[in-house]
Structure 1
Amino acid sequence: MKKFGLLVAGGIAAIILLSTIGPMVGLLVSLVLLYFIFKQFIKAESTGGKIGLGIIGLIVLVASLHNAPAIIGVGAAYVLYLVYKKWNGNKHSMKKEESDPFTNFEKQWNELKNY
């Protein structure tokens, strides 16, 4: 039953992630552009250049705000990562328990003490 819940949560997160790929790419591009505009704004020495870059930066900032649904996609990617870790974590913990000599020794010692 636990695996079914993980499968449903992972499926929903994957669908949400796939539906928000477009806004995620748009947000990434606009943030990269905003970074380069900011770097040029810092380097600019003339007032006209700073005003022009400020206006362009404001336009790109508004464009990046338009891609706000990408935040939901990032959250879905994180949920998908957690589902993946939980799904594979159960296999890992079982293998670790079987291969740990101290755990096996403790189990056998407790079995001997009970007889």
Structure 2
Amino acid sequence: MKKLGLLIAGGIAAMVLVSNLGPIVGLAVSAAILYFVFKLFLKAESTMAKIGYGIIGFIALMATASNFPAILGLAAAYVLYLVYKKWNDSSTNVIEEDNDPFANFEKQWAELNRN
């Protein structure tokens, strides 16, 4: 039953991720342009260059903001990663008993000291 829930959640997350691949690429490209324009803006010495880089930076910022649905795609990618991690988790509720006599002694000694 748990695997069925993981399969459904993974399928939905995969569909959301695939449907948002375009905005994710657009967000990455526009954010990279914005980063490089900001670096050039800080290095520019003339006022005209700063105005030009400011205009280009504003356009890149608007392009970045228009790709906001990519955040949903990134969240879906994270959910897909969590589903993958849980799917391959082999230690689901397995409690191993320690047969070491010294470990058992330590547990019993701690219980005696509590009382």
Q: TM-score, normalised by structure 1?
A: 0.81
Corresponding position of 2:81 = 81
What SS does the corresponding residue of 1:105 show, helix, strand or coil? Answer: coil
CA-atom RMSD in angstroms? 1.8
Deviation per CA, 1:65-86: give whole Å up to 9, x if none: 1111000000000100111111
Aligned equivalents of 2:48 and 2:3: distance in 1?
61
Corresponding position of 1:113 = none
Q: Which stretches in structure 2 are left out of the alignment for 5+ residues?
A: 105-115
Deviation per CA, 1:49-75: give whole Å up to 9, x if none: 001100110001001111110000000
Count matched residues.
100
What SS does the corresponding residue of 2:45 show, helix, strand or coil? Answer: coil
Aligned equivalents of 1:105 and 1:8: distance in 2?
40
Corresponding position of 2:67 = 67
User: Residues 1-115 of structure 1: matches in 2 within 5 Å?
Assistant: 1-89=1-89, 91=90, 93=91, 103=97, 105=99
Q: Which stretches in structure 1 are left out of the alignment for 5+ residues?
A: 110-115
Cα displacement (A) at 1:104: 5.2
Which structure 1 residue ranges, 4+ long, deviate > 3 Å from structure 2? none
Identity of aligned residues (%): 61
Corresponding position of 1:112 = none
Higher helix share: 1
Q: TM-score, normalised by structure 2?
A: 0.81
